[in-house]
Amino acid sequence: MAEKITPRDRDYNQWYQDVVRAAKLAETSPVRGSMVLPPNGYELWENMQRGLDGMFKATGHRNAYFPLFIPKSFLAREAAHVEGFAKECAVVTHYRLKEQDGDLIVDPEAELEEPLIVRPTSETIIWDTYARWIQSWRDLPLKLNQWANVVRWEMRTRLFLRTAEFLWQEGHTAHATEAEAVEETTTMLDVYARFAEEWMAMPVIKGVKTASERFPGAVDTYCIEALMQDGKALQAGTSHFLGQNFAKAFECTFQNQDNEQEYVWATSWGVSTRLIGALIMTHGDDQGVILPPKLAPIQVAIVPITRTNDDNEAVLDAAEEMRDSLTRAGYRVVLDDRDQYRPGWKFAQYEVEGVPVRLAVGPRDVKNGTAEMARRDTGEKKSVSAREIVPAIREALHDIQKALYDRAYAFRRDHTQVADSYDAFKAQVEEGGFVLMHWDGTAETEAKVKDETKATIRCVPFPGQFPGIDTAAAGTDPVSGQPSEQLVVYARAY
């Protein structure tokens, strides 16, 4: 690995770009704003999908698929929705190219009667369909999820965090009552929080967005927010209570048990490949990415210490045996016996790529019946018995998963402050991290703070999100001097 990684201290943004490239997680493409996901990046997403998909199914959801294209008129039906998405969408206007004087041009005779929008999100096309599917209370609840690509035209892009095309899942549910829809919204927020904490080893806080940060067309947007190592917040997932807005826009009614027609209640919720960016910025270090064992495409990399002119058979046999035991035990293992790279090069590569555990097996190990085990998160090395390799790996992976979470949790705790005055707040925002402050509930104060400090209200936190801090107590907004119902979470954010 000749690739240099800029230290985080020197330039965090450059560090991020360097590790994404060096770990082969993503790269920019010649298509403006679109990224290529090489196998390392895509397999990480596949593992995230598997984890989330299991949780969606366990909460009673099924997967389905809806069209990529949305007729322009659909987007226009819900006023806030169109306002939010019309300004940054990819528009298909023609269906044919033709040759003209040796050039390939858009055929002016093949213009669509109605332009099509490449889905930025699918509420409109889905609620048009639901209006046909839902007739009676017997058809409810309807709880579907879609794994898909979406496009939101972005001028300033950043791999994983903000790209024109990205991969995501979007859940869309329909309910007979408001209470049931609200419950679904918070259930799915809990699913996201559990996934972030248990799979990604990334602590998050749960709360509700202010009106100005709401999803276009939502009544309420709930979110999980994580804190990155540079002190900036990152919105990691959102769950929206949509009220009857989309049901009204698409005339989706149902006959209730009293034979009356009612509009259906809706939710939608999504997470995206943005989570990979969050993962990198939560755990990575100056040597590269660090992947939590539960998500790592490769959990254990085995590197045989061979020499070009030696007889390496015993070493390779021992390495293969370890690989086979671990694979049988259900772990994702690679035995890297490629001749064209030396062991040191391989060590560096797996370090950059964030493989949680590396095993090295040399001639002396074979003699002793051991292997050298190195933890990616701490760098700690120790000799382990080859016969006990499965329990040793089980324990190491478990410990790493926990240690990553604990470290991230401690970091967030150490970078969360309560502001007593607006001056203190400004200094704290400058330091980075979450800053809790009272808020009078007005968009004016929110905008003023954003304008003056670049900090936004990440959420109005649910009670109990910050151990030791009673966010639910009333107080005074130091910015306006007006009464405040509770502390809210401010931060600069991605």
Q: Which residues bind a second copy (CB under 8 A)?
A: 29-31, 34-39, 41-43, 45-46, 62-76, 82, 86-99, 104, 106, 115-118, 125, 128-129, 138, 144, 148-149, 151, 153, 165, 167, 340
Nearer to a second copy, 48 or 460 (CB): 48
How buried is 134 (Cβ within 10 angstroms: 0-12 exposed, 13-18 middle, 19+ buried)?
buried
- Tokens 């196998």 identify what position? 39
CB of 118 to a second copy, least distance (A): 7
The smaller minimum CB distance to a second copy, of residues 90 and 424, is found at: 90
Name every residue whose Cβ is closer than 8 Å to that of residue 184 and which is 6 or more positions away in sequence. Answer: 141, 143, 173, 175, 267
Nearer to a second copy among residue 66 and residue 411 (C-beta): 66
Q: Which is nearer to a second copy, 146 or 445 (CB)?
A: 146
Q: Strand order of the sheet with strand 370-375?
A: 333-335, 300-304, 357-361, 370-375, 381-385
Quote the least distance from Cβ 54 to a second copy, whole Å. Answer: 13
CA distance 458 to 489: 6
Decide whether 184 or 477 has the Cβ nearer to a second copy: 184
Helix (H) or strand (E) holding 437: strand 434-438
Residue among 49, 52, 215, 34 nearest 123 (CA): 215
Shorter beta-carbon distance to a second copy: residue 164 or 479: 164
Closest CA to 319 of 358, 375, 377: 358
User: Least separation, in Å, of the C-beta of 133 and a second copy?
Assistant: 8
Distance of CA 54 to the CA centre of its chain: 16
Minimum Å gap between C-beta 107 and a second copy is 9
Shortest Å, Cβ 257 to a second copy: 11
Question: Least distance (Å) from a second copy to the CB of residue 22?
Answer: 14
Q: What is the nearest approach in angstroms of a second copy to the Cβ of residue 127?
A: 12
Shortest Å, Cβ 388 to a second copy:
29
Rounded to 5 degrees, what are φ and ψ at 185? Answer: -60, -45
Write down the least CB distance from residue 223 to a second copy, Å. 26
Closest distance of CB 260 from a second copy, Å: 18
Q: List, in order, residues 6 or more apart from 292 with CB less than 8 Å away.
A: 199, 200, 201, 279, 283, 356, 400, 401, 404, 405
Cβ of 314: how many Cβ atoms within 10 Å? 15
Q: Which residue do the tokens 């972005």 mark?
A: 154
Rounded Cα gap, residues 182 and 407, in angstroms: 33
Which residue's CB is nearer to a second copy, number 163 or number 306?
163
């030791």: which residue's tokens? 468
Q: How far is the CB of 292 from a second copy (least distance, A)?
A: 20
Distance of alpha carbon 85 from alpha carbon 346, whole angstroms? 45
- Residue 434's DSSP bridge partners are 416
Q: Which is nearer to a second copy, 31 or 211 (CB)?
A: 31
Q: Rank residues 75 and 281 by Cβ distance to a second copy and give the closer one.
A: 75
Q: How far is the CB of 440 from a second copy (least distance, A)?
A: 33
Give Cβ neighbours of residue 264 (< 8 Å, ≥ 6 apart): 130, 134, 140, 174, 175, 176, 244, 247, 252, 253, 254
Instruction: Return the number of the residue (13 or 29) whose C-beta is nearest a second copy.
Output: 29
Q: Which is nearer to a second copy, 165 or 477 (CB)?
A: 165
- Smallest distance from a second copy to CB 5, Å: 20
- Environment class of 282 (CB within 10 Å of its CB; exposed 0-12, middle 13-18, buried 19+): buried
Beta carbon nearer to a second copy, 10 or 87: 87
Strand 165-175 versus strand 265-272 pairing type: antiparallel
Surface-to-core class of residue 309, CB atoms within 10 Å of its CB (0-12 exposed, 13-18 middle, 19+ buried): exposed
Shorter beta-carbon distance to a second copy: residue 10 or 155 = 155
Work out whether strand 111-118 and strand 103-106 pair parallel, antiparallel, or are unpaired: unpaired
- Local structure of residue 78 (DSSP, 8 states): S
483 — phi, psi (to 5°)? -65, 150
